[in-house]
Amino acid sequence: MSKALVECVPNFSEGRNMDVINQITSEIKSVEGVRLLDVDPGAEMNRTVVTFVGSPEGVKEAAFRAIKKAAELIDMRKHKGSHPRMGATDVCPFVPVSGITVEECVELSKEVARRVGEELGIPVYLYEKSATRPERQNLAIIRQGEYEGLAEKLKDPEWKPDFGPAEFNPQAGATVIGVREFLIAYNINLNTREAKYATDIAFELRERGRSVRRGNIRPFYFKGREILKYREGHYPCGSCEFVGKTMDETIRHCKDIHHYDLPHLLKLNGIDPEHPEGQSVKKPGKFKHCKAIGWLVPEYDRAQISINLTNYKVTSMHHVLEETRRLAAERGLVVTGSEIVGLVPYPALLETGKFYLQQQGRSLGIPIRDILETAIQSLGLRDVSDFKIEERVLGLPEDLNQPLVQMKVADFIDEVSRESPAPGGGSIAALSGSLGAALASMVSNLTANKRGSEAVDEILNEAAEKAQEIKFKLAAGIDADTNAFNAYMEARRLPSKTPEEKKIKHQAEQAGLKQAVHVPLETARQSLEALKVAEIVVKYGNPNSITDVGVGALMAFNGVKGGVFNVLINLGQIEDQQFVKEMKETCRTLEKEAAELRDRILSRVEEKIK
């Protein structure tokens, strides 16, 4: 099981005074087992988003210390900013990253909330997955009325805090704590200084939608002359011209014809669906799990649509951006780019890169960094600030940054040539196989998606993707083989003075030898897969590049043979004879199939170049 890791992203109501911000983040950095990842202050919003990760216990303590320090330093009576807020620490979400369940994270959030309420005297509301009642799941609903309306809100028994006193804390306000999915804070930039233009588009995007208007609604909907309202016996549908005589009739119509839950929509907008009379009619926005508002950002000299994507697996950055581009064009506006505030999950950026590659009719079988760079360029993430993959993408595959893989070619060759036994043949076998897969991918990409290649595009695009997957695994094997050898050598260095120490050392050595077998065996298996891809590419690829496929096949075969050599040499010292027998039989099968594939591929290459 992977190590338990929790992310915490508290939002503090201070974005201008760096001394205050630094004192808060110093509290986080003081906790062992916690790593501060990002501090993103915004002067116009007067708000700072902080991101840190660590062990459950470490994150729990760091969150409490930061909330305590914010309550000491931030006076909400003096706070002004463009972002909705209700407390010095406005919201403190916890996000399970790995090795911990949502349920365990919920308990963690409640422990922090209890301490904040009892020790600091701050009213605390639980939200999202920690919510104690359905109406408190949504942050926007809890925050309605903001800090200015909090004193009256706390007098209402329906809004009794989950923890802490039901009394107004004028300096610290109130705090919202809970567990949520990974939230992507995503802003889209427009070529205008008019915040109301950004807001007009934001209301079209966000899940809670907007009030329905009639007359003069194009191109800017907010200019509509009449706002429709519910009244007794007159309950209009926000999405068409239908008017129900009862609210139930309109609710059924919205569900059957437009497929949305009208009561849920009204609750998102603070309207009682049982008594909506006098309230404006609402129509839903285009995206679920999407919150959006518009504002002017003076430091960028343009308006932005500020978006929170609360479940990127349902609503992605690229789909929101493409719809924004369409809505902006209708209004005579241009999207100049976008920005991600804080961090973004690796899978989210990867899927965005794949989306735009598919839009361009290009293969997805290219290096991961190229896919991520496609996403960055397509989203325009460097429009207003720099975007560095290593600093901003959470969960990058660790194999991208292994020490041997990251070496320059000349340095790697030098490292191999030194008198140390590793990196040795196993690492070179993995490198050879990865180069074979890379060449198969190259020829696939050179052939596919060109004029006249339509008949083979699907076959070669699939081959390129498979080759990239194999290449990535084999590249990781370059370091894995060296690491396995080093682990075995560590076992040999264990003390062996007593019978118990000798037993422990012997067991560790045998386990290390088996690991030293499994790693090159995987190299051989993946190199065989590279040969299988090469056979497809030699058949359908560009004839002008057929020798590249042949070279790739030779490299992949060497990966198989080299992997087998390293398996066999390590079997000699393993005492588990059944294991030894199975490994030898597996190696014979792999080598036989690899030789047959190599011969078929080379035969085809030689026929073409005669």
What is the pTM assigned to this prediction? 0.69
- Catalytic residue at 253? no
CB of 362 closer than 8 Å to CB of 356: no
In order of 120, 134, 136, the CA distances from 165 in angstroms are 10, 21, 18
Residues 6+ apart with CB under 8 A from 419: none
Segment holding 335, helix H or strand E: strand 335-341
Helix (H) or strand (E) holding 244: strand 243-244
Query: Using alpha carbons only, what angle is made at residue 41 by residues 39 and 43, rounded to the nearest 5 degrees?
Result: 175
- The distance from CA 399 to its chain's CA centroid, rounded to whole angstroms, is 17
Range with the poorest average pLDDT among 386-400, 409-423, 520-534:
386-400
Which two three-digit tokens encode residue 151? 């004193």
Catalytic residue among 40, 162, 479, 481: 481
Name the one residue in this structure whose structure tokens are 């043949």: 425
pLDDT tens-digit profile of 471-481?
999 998 888 87
Do 242 and 250 form a contact (C-beta atoms < 8 A)?
Answer: yes
Residue 332: CA count within 13 A, CB half-sphere: 5
Alpha carbons within 13 angstroms on the beta-carbon side of residue 593 total: 18
For residues 87 and 139, the answer to whether their CB atoms sit within 8 Å is: no
Arithmetic mean of pLDDT, 487-516: 84
Mean pLDDT value across residues 363-383: 93
CB 277 within 8 A of CB 231: yes
Residue 1 has pLDDT above 50, yes or no: no
Q: What is the band of 504 on the pLDDT scale with cuts at 50, 70, 90?
A: confident
Active site residue 83: yes
Q: Which structure tokens are listed for 212?
A: 């329905």
Mean pLDDT score of the chain? 92
pLDDT at residue 403 in the model:
65
Mean pLDDT calculated for residue range 255-282: 95
Task: At 265, list the tokens.
Answer: 């929509």
- Which stretch of 17-26, 89-98, 332-341, 560-569 has the lowest confidence by average pLDDT? 89-98
Q: Which of 44, 99, 76, 129 is nearest to 341 (CA)?
A: 44
Catalytic residue among 40, 83, 318, 479: 83
Note the pLDDT tens digit of each residue in 125-165.
999 999 999 889 989 899 999 999 999 999 999 999 999 99
Coil vs helix vs strand at 608: helix
Confidence of residue 398 (pLDDT cuts 50, 70, 90): low
User: In the prediction, which pLDDT does 402 show?
Assistant: 61
The pLDDT value recorded for residue 610 is 77
